[in-house]
Amino acid sequence: MKPIFLSLLPFLPTLHAAPTQNQNLARADADPPLRGSPDLLGYSSDNKLTEHTTEGVKYKLVPGQKEDPLIGSYLDFEDVENPQPIRGDMGGTDSTQRQVDYDRSHSDKFAPPGTDKGQTINAQWPMGLSRNRLGKDGAGWARQENTQVMPDATKMAGVDMRLAAGAYRELHWHVASEWSLVLNGSCRIQAVNEDGQTFVDDVTEGDVWFFPPGVPHSIQALDAGVEFLLVFDDGSFSEDNTFLASEVFMRNPKSVLSKNFDLPISSFNDIPEDELYIFPGTRAPDNIEEQNVTTAAGILPREQSYSYHFSEQPAHEVSGGSVKIVDPQTFPIAENFAAALVTVQPGGLREIHWHPSSDEWTFFIRGKGRATLFDAPSVATTFDYEAGDVAYFPQSNSHYIENTGDEELVVLEVLQADKFTDISLGQWIGSTPKQIVADTLKLPESALSKLKTEKQFVVAGGNDTESE
């Protein structure tokens, strides 16, 4: 047996000769110490100032940038090489390195209107910043927004999902209610409720479906593939936590499955070893009747249908665009989901409004726009949005949506309500006695005579804002 001291030798540090004074000086010259001298504290006549000027930044102002900041026109920085955070006599030049592309697309963050004050909740989340959960074998993907990324969006969460032709969103159910708008393509949806009533339907771009909590369902893309938007009535909902058929089978003993289905244990030898979630499948038959399985309870009554062919509903045309509404008045099963699909022409405005009984969850389907969120008594923040962005406006907080692009802006507004309602700022002021309005807002008679008593929903652009 080795002496204890010798057995410890491999674990002892290697000893080196102490450095000489000359070696220490050489090392200090080549490698400055991590911390500086106390002599660097405070003022000293030896303090050095930079000789690199931050003045003289070359830039070009865009239309509206010289006007009164309270006018707050949209600043289009898209073709500007070096945009600057200037509005009228407010702001100043920026000579630092920065993400200029972000400044160009979010000019109201970079050079906010003079009407902004303080900071509201973060009412914006780009789905492009969400983790994309990829399906198997090229079958599709899904990305979501919830309170993990928008902490104040507590009432609703959303998922943008894509299925390739023939692909499935696996058989599953949720604790939350699921409301959906088909963004493009077509799919077949199927469900069985707690009474054993069955349901199957084909839905296409612009159609809506709804599945109550706990009702198991599946989705399969048809030949064109499909992309759809899912909205859930719980801001903390996560698409990662759904109840999947594959998991149910994996998490129960095969002996129990055998008893439950009255099948030999060998029947379950090939069940999945991992969740499927989004996966390729056998093409759906053209004849939907082939998949219309029924029980003794029969099919789901039409008045309780889980789908609504919203795509076939004509839009209500107004001066600046159009609007159409689906809510429990016409789609009864979705008892607490009310939605408006709004189109705003270039330069137009979804009028200033608020919802007295619900938060608003909004998805930008096409185009780009901006909105100012106002929270009492005096806080306001202006946000710029693009297709794929989520907006969230709390109950009774006023907002508008202005089309700042050169194509149609299409947005979906979703409420947790049994009827889609809003309060229009224009209708409120227009329906209030003119004397009260004049005394309160000091509007001239020429303006008072033009106020409207009816909701406009969407107003056209082109009014003179006296901007430069």
* Contact assessment for residue 416 and residue 336, using Cβ atoms and an 8 Å cutoff: yes
Q: Which of left, alpha, beta for 171 (phi over 0: left; psi -120 to 50: alpha)?
A: beta
Would you call 413 a catalytic residue per the annotation? yes
CA distances from 254 to 172, 257, 274 (A): 20, 5, 15
Q: DSSP readout, 56-124?
A: -----PPTTSSS-TTT-PPP--TT-SS---EETTEE----S---HHHHHHTHHHHS--TT-BS-----E
Q: How far apart, in whole angstroms, are the C-alpha atoms of residue 384 and residue 124?
A: 8
Dihedral sign from CA coordinates of 221, 222, 223, 227: negative
Q: Which amino acid is at 415?
A: L
Q: In the numeric block, which tokens belong to residue 295?
A: 């029980």
174 belongs to an annotated ligand binding site: yes
- The DSSP code sequence of 15-56 is P-PPPPHHHHHHHHHHS--SS--GGGSS--TT-----S----
Could you tell me if 182 and 226 are in contact, meaning their C-beta atoms sit under 8 angstroms apart?
Answer: yes
Residue 312 known to bind ligand: no
Determine contact, residues 349/459, Cβ cutoff 8 Å. yes
Is 172 known as a binding-site position? yes
Residue 309 among known ligand-binding residues: no
State the greatest distance between any 2 C-alpha atoms of the chain, in Å, as a whole number.
Answer: 109
Q: Identify the residue whose tokens are 């109201």.
A: 108
The alpha carbon of residue 104 and the mean position of all alpha carbons in its chain are separated, in whole angstroms, by 20
399 known ligand binder? yes
Among the options 413, 445, 466, 468, which is catalytic? 413
Residues carrying an active site annotation? 413
Which amino acids are annotated as binding site, given as ranges? 172, 174, 178, 217, 353, 355, 360, 399
Detail the residues annotated as belonging to a binding site for Mn(2+). 172, 174, 178, 217, 353, 355, 360, 399
